[in-house]
Amino acid sequence: MDQKRLIPNLAVGRDFGLPFNVDSIIRVCSIVDYDALVYTGGADIKPSLISEISRGKLLLGNIPRTLCVVRNPSILNDVCLKRGINFPQTIEVCKMAEVACEGRWLVKPVYGGSGHGIDFYEGGNLKEGFYLQKFVEGLPASVSFLSDGKECRLLGLTEQLIGERRLGSSGFQWCGNIYPLVTTTESCLGEVMAGWGQELTEAFGLRGLFGVDFVLDAKGRPFLVEINPRYSASMELFEPYINPFLFTLHISACEGRLPEFSVQRPSRFTSKGIVYAKADVTLPDTRGWLGRRGDVPFPREKILKGSPICTVYGFGESRESCLSDLYEEADEVYEELREVDEG
């Protein structure tokens, strides 16, 4: 509901009465007049969709072929090995019989997002479209870049929140970020990440805004987990400290011009958390949420268990106080839902 106040927008279900799927999106795009296409999370895992709805339009983002190759675990493994980027051992379905799986491994979908479909491997055959990746225990994090396809600049680093029960999440499900990222190797980590961004840009021709998820192991070594070849959800946390706006930078970079920009030192810690429904719920009057929370759903909307309800934000002088503030905001959402349920 908050997005309606910011910019004209249409929803496949609410405005057209269609199920949310690829065919519906293509159908809606065929009757809506637009000149250019910018996509965000979720769309990048469907390269054929981007190819279809960008036909005859200006595509401000990575082309469908790039979306395919950065999601190919074999290609990504080879690129990282060649360019000196730490990447967990990865086994595709077709090569499982050739490798002994010692230690802990993850089952991951080739085209997945936000941690959905990821679990520990317990043996047996894999379904088509999945692969194995050696589990790296450590601090999950992300780094954001801006690139014109040739040159790349680092924008910011954040800590990732994964499977946090206080946010109704579990397993490997992404549920938020904290900015800035604090580590014992903060200064040299930025240099390493800047190098990664340049290497990946040269390898894949990445352009515009993009992100990389990684894990810092117990020795402080970063391991690349995946590339997000588009605007990522963590970027809103450091956008207030960047001039000009990220969307302005994105457009220029996609047009082949890497603009100058400044990044201010953050004055405090900022966090965001996705509040997931712990049970099926019918929402209260959510108009009072506007200005306090993000991705505000419409009043009386029905949310299924495990689905996102809204985004909450936390602030603090330290990481710990910031995270505590975030959890308190999430608790308020759940309390409001309990009051509606009991009423």
Predicted confidence at residue 115, as pLDDT, reads 86
The β-bridge partners of 215 are 140, 223
What does the alpha-carbon distance between residue 258 and residue 148 come to, in Å, rounded to a whole number? Answer: 5
Q: Would you call 207 exposed, middle or buried from its count of C-beta atoms within 10 A (0-12, 13-18, 19+)? A: buried
| Digit-coded pLDDT (tens) for 59-99 | 999 999 999 999 999 999 999 999 999 999 998 765 555 45
CB atoms within 10 A of CB 187: 7
Predicted confidence at residue 67, as pLDDT, reads 96
Q: Which residue has the tokens 């401000």?
A: 60
| Digit-coded pLDDT (tens) for 253-309 | 999 999 999 999 999 999 999 999 999 999 999 999 999 999 999 999 999 999 999
What does the alpha-carbon distance between residue 302 and residue 246 come to, in Å, rounded to a whole number? Answer: 33
For residues 166-193, give the mean pLDDT: 91
Computed from CA positions of residues 34, 38, 43, 49, in that sequence, does the dihedral angle turn out positive or negative? positive
Q: Which residue has the tokens 């967990």?
A: 88
3-state SS assignment for residue 9: coil
* Residues 249/259, Cβ–Cβ less than 8 Å: yes
For the cut 80, the answer to whether the pLDDT of residue 144 exceeds it is yes
What does the alpha-carbon distance between residue 145 and residue 229 come to, in Å, rounded to a whole number? Answer: 10
Predicted confidence at residue 266, as pLDDT, reads 94
* Residues 141/159, Cβ–Cβ less than 8 Å: yes
For residues 242-249, give the mean pLDDT: 96
Mean pLDDT of the residues in the chain: 92
| Digit-coded pLDDT (tens) for 6-58 | 888 888 988 999 999 999 999 999 999 999 999 998 899 999 999 999 999 99
For the cut 70, the answer to whether the pLDDT of residue 101 exceeds it is no
pTM of the entire predicted model: 0.93
Structure token digits, residue 206: 């990445």
